[in-house]
A and B are shown apart, each in its own frame.
Chain A
Amino acid sequence: MIRILTGLLIGATLFAAPLAAQTGPLRIEITEGVIEPLPFAVPGFVPDTPGAADTARQLSQVIAADLTGTGLFREIPSSAFISQVTDFAAPVQYADWKAINAQALITGAVNVSDGKLTVRFRVYDVFSGAELGTGLQFAGSTDGWRRMAHKVADEVYSRITGEGGYFDSRVVFVSETGPKDDRHKRLAIMDYDGANVQYLTDSSSIVLAPRFSPTGDRVLYTSYESGFPRIYVLDVGKVQRRLLEQTEGTMSFAPRFAPDGRTVLFSLEQGGNTDLYSLDIGSGAQTRLTNAPSIETAPSFSPDGRQIVFESDRSGSPQLYVMPATGGEAQRISFGQGRYGTPVWSPRGDLVAFTKQSKGRFHIGVMRLDGSEERLLTASFLDEGPTWAPNGRVIMFARETQGAGGRASLYSVDITGRNLKQVRTPDGASDPSWSPLQK
């Protein structure tokens, strides 16, 4: 009986296989692709008014620079264009853009009148022959043309990649001048791309570790103005600061806002021991979160505000730990060789960026919250202080070169490790903190 059933089964299989192969469409599976910048074209935006020509050209350039700077896009030079866009409302000649392999086309028009700037734009998927989304218009003052360009670029980026953009954001950092043995530091703020640098403090005292608030309107930082490290909060719009925490005989540093903006985590050194504390900004009440003889510092909230990742040497060397935001038992998440520090929770909530020192080199890396899938994105003499872009896809950090004449600079890198590039600043720069997207 078994032989009969086996024979029938084999017969049915042999008989059915050719039938199955001959029915339905041809099926193939593609598992290997390419990773290369997506070519796009940005013809100069059409000036609706005679005085808008320069602004229209500058807008196009900033938009192209934003997209190209991500490493995900490649601009097709205008010299390769077959047709030009002289009328924003004219139908798109897809064949002309296909011929130069432009996969995305961005057209726009600019109107300047009475100090008011209006920008209209459309994004096209050339090979689909259809528009991506619908046309959009921004309006503002002519002084804010760069922000308007960043907003257009954010919208284009989002429509093509499906992720949120990060171009209309700012970075607060420590501007450094002078040699290493006489370094002058002051707080500065700039656009994400290094433009529009403004200084928030003078260089009379050492400032460290500025951190944006969740709304981007305030900055926490540590200053040695009093001779000891103290935490200050600064109103970015008004450039006004106030001392946030002052406990006699202690040192406070490494502050970080909670997602709700009403609580601040920081490290407090008292009697040679450093622990984590939380501070209610409104009432000034402090809560001790850790109580260990080791050093606990560099806390960072999870996006939902329920957990904290921080650095501790309770195991003998600096490692990363996660614990509830109200304190409690901490779980170690870093187990690789080397020393881990300055953890920062991703805005997406899925990764933790950190600084790692191993075998005489520093790295910026990311790992999952359970310590898995650790990836080191950079390696140099000194890389430290990572901060996340608002969309959680890019990390900015400080890199300092070796030697007495070593200089600190800001760099950014994609979480895949690609597109490592320097962010231009007038002077040396360290301790970056990325703001959320501006409203």
Chain B
Amino acid sequence: MQTGTKISAGAHAALIAVAVFGGAFRSEPLPFEVHEVSMISAEDYAALTAPREPAGTAPQPQEPAVPEPVAETPPDPAPTPETTPVQPEPIVAPQEPEVPDEPAPAIAPEPPAIRPVERVAPDPVEAPPEEARPDVVAQPDVTLDQGADTPQEQQQARAPEEAVDRIVTEADETATLAPLQSRRPPKVRPDRPEPAVIPAAQPDPTPAPETANAVNAALAEALAGGDPVPDAPTGPPLSAVEKDALRVAVSQCWNVGSLSSDALKTTVVVAVSMTPDGKPIADSIRMLSSSGGSDGSARDAFGAARRAIIRCGAKGFDLPAEKYGQWRDIEMTFNPERMRIK
């Protein structure tokens, strides 16, 4: 055996031994130290890079162990292949898959995985016009209309940017290609099995009145869609002309001639409920608030206001009946500021 072969075999054996058993003797990493760098020879470098002894056996690094000289016994010879020539197998062309003659099975095969659209469009998108600018909200294009009653300000069309706040590459996309639900929902819901009929002990032919009323009320409420604001007036609102007519009608009976000077400085807010035929309900007339005078002045001012409402409403105010919901309850503010000195 050649000496070189022996050395190579020994070195390989040592290398294998280190590779197998080296992990058991791996030492903890040494603390970081700073060493000066100096030029060394190739031999020194080889010695430094030689396998080390396991840590802990000796604090001082030892010289790499020199393998014992191996006896000059030739290694087992590797099996020598036979030299019989082997004929290469002929290349067989792949056969076409057989097409089944029978129809497709009743159960459709799993659909192909739904793939997202190509991230890269086959055709490039036209670049937006230069004057188009992105905006937070979409705005239509508005041009000046000379004939419009209320001309609008001219503005350019804008749209939000079609972008997200982060970029997701194809590599980062999670593969959620599997269908989330069955594509074969049952066409007919299976019949629920008939429950066993348990005869009632004493069946009640009619529900209790309270229950019936509650049910009816609930049904009525449900059908009516609920009434979130019970006191909200209903019907179309009164027009300005209709309000003015009511104001004038009350004014004609608001006699402040007998009021005191203090009462003529007092503004009172009076609430009144009306009947559907436009007549005030006398008992409903009440003073909600007053300002500018004493309690006595407010009482006198309220008296004059109440007389005005009752007198001119005795025959009914001219109010639209179809809007009764709007004027069923009225708050009238009687402000005598302009009536003080005339």
User: B-contacting residues of A (Cβ < 8 Å)?
Assistant: 4, 21-38, 72-73, 98, 101, 103, 125, 127-129, 160-163, 375, 393, 416
User: A-contacting residues of B (Cβ < 8 Å)?
Assistant: 136-137, 229, 231-233, 237-238, 243, 246-247, 250-263, 271, 282, 296-297, 299-300, 303, 306-308, 310-311, 314, 326-339, 341-342
CA A206 – CA B260 in complex, angstroms? Answer: 40
Say whether, besides A31-B337, A128-B306, A128-B307, A26 and B258 are in contact (CB < 8 Å). Answer: no
Task: Out of B259, B282, B326, name the residue touching A162 (CB < 8 Å).
Answer: B259
Say whether, besides A72-B257, A162-B297, A29 and B262 are in contact (CB < 8 Å). Answer: no
CA A127 – CA B300 in complex, angstroms? Answer: 14
CA A129 – CA B252 in complex, angstroms? Answer: 21
Most chain A beta-carbon contacts within 10 A, residue among B256, B260, B306, B326: B260
CB-defined A-B contacts under 8 Å, sample of 10: A23-B229, A26-B330, A27-B332, A29-B332, A30-B333, A31-B336, A33-B308, A35-B342, A160-B300, A162-B297
Find out whether the CB atom of B330 lies under 8 angstroms from the CB atom of A27.
Answer: yes
Say whether, besides A162-B297, A163-B260, A25 and B339 are in contact (CB < 8 Å). Answer: no
CA A55 – CA B311 in complex, angstroms? Answer: 34
Chain B residue, CB-CB nearest to A163: B260
CA A30 – CA B267 in complex, angstroms? Answer: 10
A27-B330, A33-B254, A162-B263 known; 19 new pairs, CB 8 Å cut-off, are A22-B237, A23-B233, A24-B231, A24-B331, A25-B330, A26-B233, A26-B329, A28-B331, A30-B333, A32-B251, A33-B336, A33-B339, A35-B342, A103-B307, A125-B307, A127-B311, A128-B303, A128-B306, A161-B260
CA A288 – CA B326 in complex, angstroms? Answer: 71
CA A98 – CA B307 in complex, angstroms? Answer: 11
CA A98 – CA B247 in complex, angstroms? Answer: 22
Chain A residue, CB-CB nearest to B236: A22
Find out whether the CB atom of A160 lies under 8 angstroms from the CB atom of B256.
Answer: no
Nearest 4 A/B pairs, CB to CB? A33-B254, A25-B329, A162-B300, A35-B257
Is the contact region of chain B dominated by helix, strand, or loop, or is it mixed? Answer: mixed
Find out whether the CB atom of B332 lies under 8 angstroms from the CB atom of A23.
Answer: no
Chain A residue, CB-CB nearest to B337: A31
Q: Which residues of A contact B326 (CB under 8 A)?
A: 26
Find out whether the CB atom of A161 lies under 8 angstroms from the CB atom of B237.
Answer: no
Find out whether the CB atom of A35 lies under 8 angstroms from the CB atom of B251.
Answer: no
Find out whether the CB atom of B329 lies under 8 angstroms from the CB atom of A4.
Answer: no
Q: Which residues of A contact B282 (CB under 8 A)?
A: 127-129
Chain A residue, CB-CB nearest to B254: A33
